[in-house]
């Protein structure tokens, strides 16, 4: 069989370029929702646990039950958006695998760390930084890159602080790393 090359007209080339640009824009739009969802979930859970600990509540870790709910929402959202996706970009595939790896690493840390280990939250913030930094680079969106760096700085601070104040630092990390860049992504999409 002969391998025939098809030469595209200028109009066909422009249509393909337009499709790819639209697909990349949709990558950014979907990421805004995910960053805001997880930013607010972790922010609310960490602040709530801090308050419950200070109220001497025995069940102070209950706010973290928001995380499995977030996982279900994320899975449903990802399933629905993948059905609507007409074009898959390298960026979307790269980010998908980045965040799957992030989730797997979080699972390993959460289920296999020593109970009572005081350094779990700084390690989690370090992982947040990696995911945000890579996502910002892939999307060419500086606020996410800076959000990743901010999470690393918060992790450094949290390694130096013991106890419940790490909860306030993780709330600060997700506010600066997820929530602020998430809203900036949303504003960027409206332009």
Tell me the pLDDT of the chain (191 aa) as tens digits.
455 556 666 676 556 655 655 555 555 455 689 999 999 999 999 999 999 999 999 999 999 999 999 999 988 988 887 777 666 677 778 888 888 898 889 888 878 776 656 788 999 999 999 999 999 998 889 999 999 999 999 999 999 997 899 999 999 999 999 999 999 998 887 76
- In 3D space, the residue among 170, 175, 139, 136 whose CA is nearest the CA of residue 154 turns out to be 170
SS3 state of residue 3: coil
Q: What is the largest CA-CA distance in the chain?
A: 77
Residue 127 corresponds to which tokens in the numbers above? 């992982």
CA 50 to chain centre: 23
Q: State if pTM tops 0.85.
A: no
């Amino acid at each position: 069989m002969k391998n025939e090359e098809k030469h595209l007209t200028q109009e066909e080339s422009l249509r393909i370029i337009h499709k790819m640009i639209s697909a990349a824009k949709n990558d950014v739009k979907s990421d805004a929702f995910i960053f805001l969802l997880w930013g607010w979930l972790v922010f609310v859970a960490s602040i709530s646990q801090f308050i419950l600990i200070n109220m001497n509540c025995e069940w102070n870790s209950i706010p973290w039950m928001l995380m499995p709910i977030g996982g279900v929402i994320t899975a449903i959202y990802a399933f629905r958006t993948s059905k609507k996706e007409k074009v898959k970009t390298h960026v979307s595939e790269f980010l998908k695998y980045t965040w799957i790896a992030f989730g797997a690493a979080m699972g390993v840390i959460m289920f296999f760390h020593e109970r009572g280990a005081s350094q779990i939250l700084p390690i989690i913030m370090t992982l947040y930084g990696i995911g945000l930094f890579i996502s910002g680079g892939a999307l060419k969106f500086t606020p996410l890159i800076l959000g990743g760096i901010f999470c690393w700085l918060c992790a450094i601070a949290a390694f130096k602080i013991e106890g419940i104040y790490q909860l306030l630092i993780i709330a600060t990390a997700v506010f600066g790393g997820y929530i602020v860049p998430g809203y900036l992504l949303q504003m960027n999409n409206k332009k």
